[in-house]
Amino acid sequence: MGYSVRDIVRKIDTYWYGDLNEVEELGKLYVISEVSGDDDYEIRDLITGGHSAWWHNDQLEYVGRADKKIFKKLDAIQDKAHKRNISLKYIERNYPNISTDSWLELFKQIGYNSSFYKNGEYFILFAEIQTLKPIFDAIFEYDLEKAIEETNKAFKKGYREQYLNNIKQFFSKIKGE
């Protein structure tokens, strides 16, 4: 069965399939927001409004039909969450358990332009987080010396100076100096 925009679906399988499924994702409800071809869908989470793409018929189960205002409602939910998630006070309070928006805001604070913006691949974002997280760990532990050490490990020599200056400024902002 093919789905249409505004169909409400339940996730019954994930990208990983079978035993590798992210169990907490199964059973969640989404709305189809875009259809590409016969079997390729973008879905939006009915709770958070978040987008996710490349879902297929065998991963989704039809539940019902959403009203015409669903996307405006989801946009408002997502906008409110985005504003919260990029707040430095919120990030500092919840670090390291933060959202994609929060990580991208941290990257922005140090002048790092994530490749995630170019392709939307979460694998790329995950790799960037793993590389840069030690810097932010040190910053949120108020250890500038360690943040500088981690910056020297994370960036090539030709780029370090640019990031070191930004990291020092961000450290001062977080520390309230």
12-26, 87-101, 136-150: least confident range = 12-26
Domain boundaries defined on the chain = 7-72, 86-175
pLDDT at residue 163, rounded to an integer:
95
CATH topology of domain 7-72: SH3 type barrels. (2.30.30)
Separation CA 110–CA 171 (nearest Å): 10
- So what's the pLDDT on residue 17? 53
Q: Which two tokens stand for residue 121?
A: 């691949």
CB atoms within 10 A of CB 177: 7
DSSP-derived pairing of the beta strands 29-35 and 60-65:
unpaired
Q: First and final CA of the chain: distance in angstroms?
A: 59
Q: What are phi and psi of 61, to 5 degrees?
A: -135, 130
The yes-or-no verdict on residue 47 having pLDDT over 80 is: yes
Tell me the average pLDDT of the chain.
91
Q: Is the pLDDT of residue 121 over 90?
A: no
Q: Is the pLDDT of residue 122 over 90?
A: no
pLDDT score recorded for residue 1: 66
State yes or no: pLDDT of 2 exceeds 60: yes
